[in-house]
Structures are given as C-alpha cells and as structure tokens.
Amino acid sequence: MTTFEAILLTIVTASTPLLIAAMGELVTERSGVLNLGVEGMMAMGAACSFAAAVTFDSTLLGVAAGMLAGTLMAALFALLVLGFAANQTGSGLALTIFGLGLSGLIGAPFVGARRDPVAPVDIPVLSDIPMIGRLFFEQDLFVYASIVLTVLVGLYLTRTRSGLTLRSIGENHTSANALGLPVRRVRFFAILFGGACAGLAGAYLALVYTRFWSPGMTAGRGWIALALVVFAAWRPGWALVGAYIFGAATVLQLHAQAAQFGVPSQLLSAVPYLATILALLLLSIRHGRAIGAPGSLGAPFVPDR
Amino acid sequence: MKADVPPSGPPLVELKEISKRYGDLLANDGIDLSIEPGEIHALLGENGAGKSTLVKILYGVIEPSAGEIRWQGRPVAIGSPVEARTLGIGMVFQHFSLFDELTVAENIAVALSGEWSLATVRGKLGEISRTYGLALDADRAVWTLSAGERQRIEIVRCLLQKPRLLILDEPTSVLTPQEAEHLFLTLDRLSAEGCSILYISHKLEEVRRLCRRATILRAGRVVATIDPRASSAREIAALMVGNEVGEIRADAPHHPQGEMLKISQLSMPPAGLHGQALTGINLVARAGEVVGIAGIAGNGQTELFAALSGERLAERPDAVVIAGKPAGTLGIDARRRLSAAFVPEERLGHAAAPTHRLSENTLISHAATEVSRTGFILANAAKRLARTIIQSFDVRTPEGDPQARKLSGGNLQKFVIGREIIRKPRLLVVDQPTWGVDAGAARLIRQALVDLARDGSAVVVVSQDLDELFEVADRMAVIHQGTMSPLKPIGEWTKEAVGLEMLGVAQAQGGAHAV
C-alpha cells in the first residue's frame, strides 16, 4: 500500500462519523428542531457501544448499544422540547454536557481495553484496481452504510410524502398544524432518528476509528457535524461534500504538521474549519439565493387550542 | 339540490351556543348558526368580531369552550383539521397556511389525503386551474409569489378535496372583477352541485350577489341573520359596525400643484428568478391629489413599491424624483428625510415587527426623528407617539402598549398607516391599504388618505380593490406586466376599461372600450 493510498483511506475513516451524525441532525433540523446535543449523544454512543462490544465481544451488539444510547438521549431531549416546549438551545446544550459526563462514567471501567479492527468488506477483483481499488471497494460496512444513508435521506426528503410532511412542518409549524399535520409526532421521530445517527457515529469512532475508549474522545466532532448541516444549507448532498472536505483537510494538515513546513501547527489545525466553510460558502453562492434555515427552526411549538 | 327548494332533511351543519373564551376575552359568545346543503351562507362582521375564531372552531383548529356542533343532525366533536376534512369541510385561510420554501405543487400535495404522486397533483392542479381560471405555475416556490397568487393556491387546494362544506375567508380581496365573477360562477356551480359554502367577506355587494342568508357578528355575538338581498348595503354595514357608515367625503374642487413624485422611464430587472421586471414606467403625483394604481397581484406592484421606497435602488438618480430632488439612488431613510413615507403591503413582518411593542414599532419609520437621539431610544417619546397614533386613528388594542402581533389585522393596519400619516409626509406611498380589513377600519383609513391629500400631500395608493380606488383616487393608472397604462382622471375610467387594462387586452385590441 502506497502512502497516497493510506492517506486516502484515512480521509474516508475521518469523514464517515461526521457524515453519519450530520445526516441525523439534518433530518432533525428539517423538521424544525435544533438539537445542539449531538456531541453528547455521540459521546454516549461511543461509550455504550465500546462497553457493550467489549463485554459481549461483539461489534454488532456494540453498534446496537451505541444507537440505542443515542436514541435514548434524543428521547430525553424530545421530552423536554416537545413535551414541555422547553427552549431548544438550552436543552441541547444541557444534553451535550450531560452526555459528556455520563459517557465518562459508563466508559470508566473500559479505559485501556482494546478492540480488534473491524474487517473491511472486500469486493473481489474491483478492490485490486490500482490506487482507487481499495478506496472504493475495500472499506468497512459503516462507510458504505453512510453513503447509502445520505442517498436515502436525500430521496426521503425530496421524493416521499412523509418527507414532504416533515419539510412542511419544519418550514411553518403553524400552517402545518392548521392543515392537520401531526407536528409533534413527526418531530419526535425526527429527533429519535437524529439520536440514533449520532449514536452510530459515536460507535464508529470507538469501534473503528480509535478502537479504544477515552473520555471526551468525540473531540468536538458533534459540533462539526452541526456546523456542516448549516453550511450545507440543510442539503444531504452538500453535507456529504462538506464532511469529506473536512475529513480530507484534517488528515492532510496532520501530514503537513509531520512534514514540518515551518507553519505553526495551530494554524494548520484551523485549516479544516476554514476549508469547509469556504467550500460550502462557494457552493451556496453559486446557487444564487442564500438559502435560509427551515422557517420554524428552533421555535417551540405550542398548539393553539 | 337547488337552493330555492326548502330542505327536507336536517341542515348540513348546525352550531349551537358555541362559545370560546380566551382569559377575560369572550371571542365567541353563544353563537347559533346553521347551514343548509348547497347553501351559500355569508358570515359578516368587523375584524375582531369573532369570525375567525368561529371558523377555526368549525375547522377543528381550536376547541370551543362550550356549545355543540351537529353535522347532518348528529352531534360531532371536530378535534382536528384532519377530522374536519374527513367530514368534508375545506377551508381557504385568510392568513395563508402555505410553506414559503416549497413549490406550489408541494404545497397542494401536502394537504391532500389518500394516494398521490407529484405528477398526478401537477395534472390535477392544471385541470382545476383551467376550469376555475386560477392560473398557477406548479413548480414555483411560494416565497416568489404575490399575495394574490398565494390565495389562488389556497383555493385550488380546497377544491381538489371535493368538500361538502367550503369555508372561504375574504376570497376575492386580491382578484380582478373578472376573476371574482369567475369565482362567483364557480361557487354558484359548487352550490348547485350540493356543496355548502360559508362565505366570509367585507364586501357587501359580493355577499348580496352570492348569498340568500347572512349571519352578522359583532363583538362575538350574533346580531342578526338576514337576507342580504332584502337589505341595502348601508343597512348591513350599520348592523356590522354598530353605527351609521358615512361616505368618504372629499372636499369640493381642489387644485393639485407641485410634483411631489415624478417617476420617469423607470426600468428595473426582476428581483428574483420569478419577479416582474419594470419597463419604462412614468408617473407623476402632485401635491393635493391621490393617485391610484390598479392591477392584478404579481404584475409589478411589489417591485414598484420597492423602487419607490428605496428598498431597491434605480440606476439613475432622476428615475425617481421626490419633492424635486433626484432620489432614485437614495436609501429608505434618505427618502424619508425628503418627507416621503411608505406603507408596504405586508403589515406583519414588513411594516411592523410582530413581537415588538407598538411603541418600539414607531422606531421603524421614526428612527431619524423624535423617538431616538444619538442612537439611544427615547422610550417615553416612543410611548407617547404610539399613544397619539392609537388615539388619532382609533386603534383598538388589548392593552396599553401591546406587541404588534396581538392586534387584529384592521387595527394593526390603522396603526402602521397612522404611524406614517402622523409625520405629515409630503408624499405617502401605500401598498394595499385595506387588504383584509373590515369595513369600519377601511373607511377610516381611506378617509385619512383623502384628508392627507386635501391637506396638500401627494398620496399614491397601490390597490387591487377597484371600489377603493374609485372611492379615493383623483387620477388612476393600471399596471400590467411591469408597464404602466396612461394616468387618467378617475372620471374617465370605467370598471370595464380598468379590468381590460389589468388583463392587458386594452392595448392589444386598440381601445379600452372594446370587449
């Protein structure tokens, strides 16, 4: 394997958790709910998946536990913002702090444990193509799943009735309610979906990316996923582009730091953020009209009865 | 079933002793109302009389505090709009229930029950558009459309559901006379097919054209159920308002002089992908006169207003001359300093900030004057100003200094127009001054506009309500696809001629009186 190939492979690994978490948050936000708890849900996903995977020696059970943990966290958030119409920003920040703390507690007995790498899916013949073979045809299942997820979310939002309902509710929940659309039910499931995705992203971090647990290992990736959704103008395709630009910039700046160009490392660490913002900004300028957030994003919904 | 034959069965829907209480306010107070199958029943009343609350109860959006609803004789509880639609109740909302970022077809699809695909929705949309003369482009996003076009979506959305009872809230306020007549024929046909219609309108002539029974609400109670054909418009208006309605009085001959506004060869590219370009517009408004601009929604009124107010700038300074000063490239505040004032079409969100108090809303157009100094708000001055506006323009408020969104449409409109008039501007440009406003408020607003002109200001009124323009304007022009017809004294226009100009057939046929 050449260095170039290795770099490409790490880029994919670095981008995948961002993409998965961003897809979940994108659906949640399209329904009009801003969940700032992605980081916390992701941390819980990572801790619970690692604990389950080590305890039962099963990656599958680990992934299931991670997704479940994210979903439960999201259910708590949904209770606050839908049940009690609590402020979404405050509830989301609380969820992140709570998740980071609780994940440390759950993960504590597992610090120092290691998991074996997850075997990639090797598609015969195609994976032997030089340079790009292994990049496209010998990845782990999560990578393929994240791409499929992006396509499905895109199709769901633009091509299905339920997706149209969800977008309508996010756009204007008062009108949606007047038309009789089930605002809170749809938002509940959208929040749960967001939680499951964040949990899965966390599981990927713990089981594939690092293969160990340490407190605070999500290292702000939840926040990056949130930012990606905004800069991608709530579009799945753009979020994919953004996730990969961010992943690529992260990996490349690490190599640049190693090569010691004489550029301060702190500056290089900022490159992924700048590159992602710039790229997505260019995309949205090209689109012509600045695309706004879903109309009801972040506003609590209290039915007028 | 024909409307003339006395119905043998129970009424389609019967409301008994319906009440709705919000805190101390009794929005509906023991309302009785029955609608026969195939009947077109009018619901009349000023803004704030309780009409919206009543129809929202009937449509399942809000729950009554007391009372009973019977559907075909059986008591029903309408818990949600879905249940209302299942019964066969369709509703065209006054404040549109549309989604700005979605396309026309998506907006219609999202409200449909049963199986559908966007392709079939598009097909049905085309069919309904043709049948009822409601032109709509299926793939345009709603945020690009004018108020008139948005209302068409609401109407089409209802008709697609083949309702047994159709509730229409001010459906003709943005239609041309021809379009309105087309809609009346549609409603007549629906009625003949057995569909009942609950028709809410402030336009009395319309109600008399369409309905045999009208229920009149005032302050949450039924004051009368009458046959509108047997009563004069003045009698009905008196029942609604509770006092005699006077005609707009314009003092006898006056001699306008001095050009306060001169638009010359104003052209402007469309603002958005679907906006209307303005081409070579010329217009003069003199001190002491009201100039009316008629036209169907979406023919450039929004763009013209933006160009006059300075929300969009012209290329040449002399394209828009205000009080003798070239102002085409000046911003809004600079134009206000030339003693111009502007009232946009959307009162909530454009003319007023919904969650700000009325006193804070005075800052929107008075920022450069008495209510702020060196960047600080003079809160007491703002409150005093708001109070003066409230008193001078009979704005009815739930509390002393409420948030703008707490006011009913008519009262907020009185406030935003009053806010501009009280500055005694030498030029006032107002877009749809009485859209969705009750008869009493509309009269007050029109009188204020006429009075302002008589006091020596120039007033430009952009409106889709022809009756209004014929009432207030001294001279009038018609805008069609971004071009302006000649400006003629109001006496030289007939409604037919205006209607033809609105549709752009006048020039094509070489004469305004050709049919």
CATH number attached to the domain at B259-348+425-508? 3.40.50.300
Percentage, residues of chain A above pLDDT 70: 95
The CATH 3.40.50.300 domain(s) of chain B lie at: 11-88+163-176+186-242, 259-348+425-508
Q: Which residues of A touch B62 (CB under 8 A)?
A: 304-305
Res. A80: pLDDT tops 50? yes
Q: How far apart are CA B278 and CA B264, in angstroms?
A: 12
Contact A171 B62 (CB under 8 A): no
In chain B, what is the straight-line distance between the N-terminal and C-terminal CA atoms, in Å? 35
Identify all chain B residues contacting A288, using CB atoms and an 8 Å cutoff.
273
The Cα A231–Cα A35 span in angstroms is 16
Q: What is the mean pLDDT of residues B230-239?
A: 76
List the single residue in A with minimal CA-CA distance to B90.
Answer: A179
- Do B464 and B295 touch, CB atoms closer than 8 A? yes
Cβ-defined contact of B61 to A177 (cutoff 8 Å): yes
Query: Which of helix, strand or coil describes residue B404?
Result: helix
Neighbour count for residue B441 (Cβ, 10 Å) = 28
What's the pLDDT at B512? 39
∠ CA A275-A277-A280, nearest 5°, is: 100
Structure tokens at B252: 């006898």
Angle between helical axes of A161-171 and A141-159 (0-180°, round to 10): 70
Amino acid, res. B515? V
Shortest Cα–Cα distance, A290 to chain B (Å): 12
pLDDT of B252 higher than 60: no
pLDDT given at position A157:
94
Residue B317: what pLDDT?
92
Domain range annotation of chain A: 3-286
- Give me the residues of A, 285-304, that contact B with CB < 8 A: 288-289, 292, 294-295, 304
Rounded to two decimals, what is the model's pTM? 0.68
Percentage of chain B exceeding pLDDT 90: 36
* d(C-alpha A140, C-alpha A137), whole Å: 9
| Exposure b/e, A241-260, CB count within 10 A at least 16 = b | bbbbbbbbbbbbbbeebeee
Query: Which amino acid makes up residue A275?
Result: A
Maximum mean pLDDT: which of A146-150, A208-212, B79-83: A146-150
Which of B87, B94, B97 is the best mutation test for A, with the most CBs of A within 10 A?
Answer: B97
| Interatomic CA distance for residues A66 and A56, integer angstroms | 14
ipTM score for this prediction: 0.78
**Fold for domain B11-88+163-176+186-242?**
Rossmann fold (3.40.50)
pLDDT tens track for B271-321: 765 578 899 999 999 999 999 999 877 788 989 999 999 999 999 999 999
Q: Which of B20, B55, B61 to mutate to test the interface with A (most CBs of A within 10 A)?
A: B61
- Choice between B247 and A232, residue whose per-residue pLDDT is larger: A232
CA distance A76 to chain B (A): 27
Q: Which of A167, A177, A304 sits opposite B102 (nearest CB)?
A: A167
Which residues between 131 and 190 in chain A have a beta carbon less than 8 angstroms from any beta carbon of chain B? Answer: 161, 164-165, 167-168, 171-172, 174-181
Q: Name the pLDDT band for B406 (thresholds 50, 70, 90).
A: confident
Of B62, B63, B99, the CB nearest to A175: B99
| Architecture field, domain A3-286 | Orthogonal Bundle (1.10)
